[in-house]
Amino acid sequence: MNFTEYIKLAINALRTNKTRSLLTMLGIIIGVASVILLVSIGTGLQKWVTEQFQSMGANTIMVMAGDVDVTQGPRGAMMSASKFELSDVADIERGSDAIKQVSPMVQGFGSFSYGGKTSSTEVWGLWENYFDIAKFEPEYGRIITQNDVERSRRVIVLGNKPSKDLFGDGANPVGKTLTLNDVQFEIVGVLKSKGGGGAMGSADDFTAIPITTAMRQFDRDRPFMMFIEAIDSEHVAQAKTDAEKVLLRRLEDDEFTVLESTQLLETITQFLSVITAALGGIAGISLLVGGIGIMNIMLVSVTERTREIGLRKAVGATPRDIMMQFLIESVILSLFGGAIGIGLGSLGSLGINQFIGTSVTLWSVLLAFGFSASIGIIFGVTPAIRAARLDPIEALRYE
C-alpha cells in the first residue's frame, strides 16, 4: 500500500467521525494558538523596548561618575561625586575617530511656578548638541542654543510633561516667564513627546537650561555626566574604548563608568526573552495536553474499530499497513489542528496588535508546526502499535 492510499484512508476515517475529529483537534488548536499568541506578545514587547532605545539614540554612550552597576541604570550614578572637567569633553572628542560629538550635562532639581500653579522635575544644564545626540526636536519655539550657553541666558526649554503640568495639554507657553527655584526664566521652547520610558526614566519629564546657567544656579563647577555620539552603530564599541582610554589618562578606573545604551538594552531584552520563553512554555503545556487528548481518542478509536482491523488483516493488510493507517490519522489530526491553531493565533495576535505591537515570528510558526507533527507521531505511536499487533481472529470475534 502506498503513501497516498494511507492518506486517503486516514482522511476518510476522520471524515466519518467529523465531530470527534474536531473535538480531538481542539486541544491542539488551543495549544498552538496560545503558543503563537503568547510568543508574539513577548516578541512584540522586545521590539517595542528596542524601538524606545533607538528613539533615545542607539549610537549614544553615557559617561557617568563613579562605578555604576549596569542593571541599576543611570540613576545609580547619582550617589557618586563627579570628577569630570569641561575640558574632558574636548579631549574625548579629539581622542577618537569613532566619536562624532560629545555633550556635557549638569543636573539639578527644580521647583517651578507659573500663575499660582507649581510643579517640580529634573533640570538639565546642556549644550546645544545634546538635542541632536538624544534626537529631541521642539514642538513649539526652539531648543537651547550655543549662544544661550555662552551668555548664560536664563532661558528654559520644557519637556513635554512639565509643559502639560503647568500649562495644560496642547498649550503653547513660549514667551511666558516662569520661576525656577525663585529665579525667573523665559520659556523659549517645548519639546516633542517621545512617549513611554527610556534609559533616563520618562523621556518627556525634564527641563533644559544652558549648562553655564545651570552651573551657577546649582553651584556646580563640574559636569555631572557626558553624552557621546558614535559616528554610527558599528563604531559604538570603539568609541567606548577610546573614551575610556582618554579618561584613564586623568582619572582612576573606578571614578567613572562608560555605558553604552545597548548594554542596558541587552539586559532588558534578555529579561524579556526569558519571559517570552516562559510564556511559550506554559502554552506548550497545553499543547502537551492536546497531544494526550489525541492519544486518548486514538486508543478509543482502535478499540472501537477492532473488527475493522481484524477484517483488514483477513483480506491482506500487513501489521505495517495497520500501523501506518492509525499513525497517519493522528498526524493528520495534529497537523490540521496545528494549522488551524496557527491561523487563530495569528488572528488573535493581529487583534492585540491594536494595543501592543505584536509580531508573529516565523520561528514560532515553524516550532508550533513541528511540535504538533511530533505530537501526532509520539502520541499516535502507542495506539497504532496496539492496532498493528491485534490478532486477526480475536479482532474479528470482538463485539
- Give the binding site for another protein (CB under 8 A): 1-2, 5, 9, 16, 307-308, 310-321, 392-393, 396
Q: Which is nearer to another protein, 196 or 319 (CB)?
A: 319
Q: Which is nearer to another protein, 48 or 398 (CB)?
A: 398
Please answer whether residues 117 and 178 qualify as being in contact, where contact means their C-beta atoms are separated by less than 8 angstroms.
Answer: no
Q: Which is nearer to another protein, 73 or 392 (CB)?
A: 392
Instruction: Kindly state the helix (H) or strand (E) to which residue 119 belongs, with its residue range.
Output: strand 117-126
Q: Which is nearer to another protein, 19 or 354 (CB)?
A: 19
Q: What's the closest the beta carbon of residue 50 comes to another protein, in angstroms?
A: 56
Instruction: Cite the DSSP H helix spans in the chain.
Output: 3-16, 18-57, 86-94, 129-133, 146-150, 160-167, 211-217, 236-248, 261-304, 306-314, 319-352, 362-389, 392-397
Helices 261-304, 18-57: crossing angle, 10 deg rounding: 180
Q: What's the closest the beta carbon of residue 367 comes to another protein, in angstroms?
A: 36
Dihedrals phi, psi of 140, to nearest 5 degrees = -125, 150
CB atoms within 10 A of CB 67: 15
CA-nearest of 119, 149, 151 to 131 is: 149
Q: Which is nearer to another protein, 161 or 312 (CB)?
A: 312
Instruction: Kindly state the helix (H) or strand (E) to which residue 101 belongs, with its residue range.
Output: strand 99-114
Q: What's the closest the beta carbon of residue 304 comes to another protein, in angstroms?
A: 11
Q: Which is nearer to another protein, 141 or 392 (CB)?
A: 392
Q: What's the closest the beta carbon of residue 51 comes to another protein, in angstroms?
A: 57
60-65 and 206-210 beta bridge pairing:
unpaired
Please answer whether residues 365 and 53 qualify as being in contact, where contact means their C-beta atoms are separated by less than 8 angstroms.
Answer: no
Q: What's the closest the beta carbon of residue 307 comes to another protein, in angstroms?
A: 7
Q: Which is nearer to another protein, 1 or 285 (CB)?
A: 1
Q: Which is nearer to another protein, 240 or 312 (CB)?
A: 312
Q: What's the closest the beta carbon of residue 376 comes to another protein, in angstroms?
A: 23
Please answer whether residues 360 and 346 qualify as being in contact, where contact means their C-beta atoms are separated by less than 8 angstroms.
Answer: yes
Please answer whether residues 8 and 332 qualify as being in contact, where contact means their C-beta atoms are separated by less than 8 angstroms.
Answer: no
Q: What's the closest the beta carbon of residue 328 comes to another protein, in angstroms?
A: 14
What gap in Å lies between CA 207 and CA 205, rounded to an integer? 7
Three cell numbers at 242? 577610546
Dihedrals phi, psi of 318, to nearest 5 degrees = -85, 165
Q: What's the closest the beta carbon of residue 12 comes to another protein, in angstroms?
A: 8
